[in-house]
Each structure stands twice: as structure tokens, then as C-alpha cells.
Amino acid sequence: MSHSLLSSRLFIGLLALGLCLFWSACEPRNNTPLGSELDEPDYRLGQRLVKQGRGSEALAAYLRVIEKRGDAAPESHLEAGIICLQQIKDPIAAIYHFRKYLERQPNSPQAAQVRGLVESAKREFARTLPANPLENQAERLDMVEQISRLQRENDQLKAELAMARGNAARPAVNQVRVPAEGGYNFATATPPEDLSPITVAPEMRDEAPAVREPTPPTRPQANTQPAAQAGARRHVVVKGDTLFNLAQRYYNDRARWRDIYNANRDIMPNENSLSIGMNLRIP
């Protein structure tokens, strides 16, 4: 009996030992300590492939490092994210890899820069989203109209400022006075009283006429623009002219710019087509 019992116990012990050895051999060895990520052959391969411009192959090498090391591959995640954003043009994958890096290295010196890369990837993804073309077109037209209106108002203000400066710099024509001693009085267009015919001595009559009528001094040329306003009503466009300041100039009413535009539609395709040298009719 004792011998049989001893044999049974020995058999059970050997069986238990065999089972332990079997399970030990089958258990995956995930507890093996990993070395530095930067020393991984695939990580180094990825670095070389990036320098050669072979982005897709480099990405595959970094993904192998990630598969092998799991969460212990933050640098490979970072490199993979950069490739996805800049070369593969896959912003969603880039965001995934950048966030994996930040989970493992939230306080690294590069963390702030990586967060900026996440925002860049979000903007790139937003550009790929379809938009409503009608809404975009309406917004664009509204913006163009606002810019055009602001440009017209700016031109109007510049023209008014230039006109004000010109009026302040030169005296009005009706304020010019010329003394009678030197020639005509331009206000009355009559010669001075002390101006008499010039006589020549007899011995000089062969060389000069007996009487020489005085030549009135040349009258200064006044600004011809007022005459154009009251007479021919034509205006040649110069730099700084706008329909607004022309309406103010000829009608003293900027709101009448459309009268000038309507009178010259044969040479003006639209209200913004005013150009230097254009000869306008002023109705």
C-alpha cells in the first residue's frame, strides 16, 4: 500500500511539473525589457529613408517600431505624424500620432510644438470639407461690394481733400487786383488816364512811326475750368477725379454723380470705369 501511494504521489508531482513547464513555454514573453527607442533598427531605417525623401517607406518603418513597442514608441509616433501631415497629406492620421506622442510625453520640450502641429492638421482637414457653393458665392459678392464701396468713398475723400488744399493754396480769380499805374484795370478793362500817345521827333521819323499806340500788357490767363463749367460743359479726366467729386464740382451736389455717368455711358461701361484722359460730357 505504502509503495503504491508513494508511486501515485510521485506521478502526480511529475505531472504538475510537466504542466508548469508547458505553460511557461507557451506564455508570451512581453516582460522582456526594451532598449532605447532611438536604437531600434527600424527607427534608424526610418531616419535614413526620410533623408532620402522616401516618406512612405519611412512611415512603414516607424509603424513597425510602434507595433513592436506599443505605447513605448512616442518618437516613432511623432515622426509618423509629421510624415502623414507633410508628405502623405493625411491630417486625421497625423492628429492620431501627435496625440499618442503627447500622451506619452506631455511635458517634453517639443510638446508645445506638437500641439501646434495638431492645430495645423485640424486646419488642413477643415480645408478638405465640402462647402456650400451658393453661400460662398453670396459671401464673396457681398465682400466685393463692400470693398468697392469703401474704395469709392476713399477716392471721394481724397478728391475732396485735394480740392480743399488747392482752394486754400491759390486766391480766387475775382479777388485779383492790378494797380492802374502799371497798365489796365482788369476789373473795368479801361486804360489808365495818364496813358497818352507817344510822339516821335521829326529827325527820327524815318526810323520809327510818328505815333505808336501803347501795347496793353498781357492779361494773365485765368483758370479755364470755370468757363468749361458754364460753357462747353466738357471735362477731361485727370488723376484723382471721381464721379463724386465731379458732381460736387459742377453741381455742388455729390448725389448727382449718376447724371454724369448716364450722360457718358457710351464711353463708360460701368460706374467704375473712369480713366485718365477720358473726355466727359457734363449735362
Residue 103's pLDDT is what? 93
Please check whether residue 44 lies inside any domain of the structure. yes
* Residue 14 vs residue 52, higher pLDDT: 52
Residue 99's pLDDT band (boundaries 50, 70, 90)?
Answer: very high
Q: How confident is the model over 42-81, as pLDDT tens digits?
A: 999 999 999 999 999 999 999 999 999 988 999 999 999 9
Please check whether residue 150 lies inside any domain of the structure. no
Domain final residue pick, 73, 103, 127: 127
> Region 136-158: what's the mean pLDDT?
69
Please check whether residue 163 lies inside any domain of the structure. no
Q: Which residues are 234's β-sheet partners?
A: 281
- The per-residue pLDDT of the chain, averaged, comes to 74
Residue 134's pLDDT is what? 44
Please check whether residue 195 lies inside any domain of the structure. no
Domain final residue pick, 60, 94, 127: 127
184 is written with which cell numbers? 489796365
Distance CA 43, CA 45 (A): 5
Residue 93's pLDDT is what? 93
Please check whether residue 59 lies inside any domain of the structure. yes
Domain final residue pick, 109, 127, 145: 127
Please check whether residue 183 lies inside any domain of the structure. no
Range of the domain at 56: 37-127
Q: How many domains does the chain have?
A: 2
> Region 76-104: what's the mean pLDDT?
93
Hey, which of 87-96, 143-152, 239-248 has the most confident mean pLDDT?
87-96
Distance CA 80, CA 95 (A): 10
pTM strictly above 0.85? no
Please check whether residue 260 lies inside any domain of the structure. yes
Q: Is 103 left (phi over 0), alpha (psi -120 to 50) or beta?
A: alpha
Q: How confident is the model over 230-252, as pLDDT tens digits?
A: 455 899 999 888 888 898 989 99
CATH of residue 258:
3.10.350.10
Name the 3-class secondary structure at 279: strand
CATH of residue 88:
1.25.40.10
246 is written with which cell numbers? 465731379
Please check whether residue 194 lies inside any domain of the structure. no
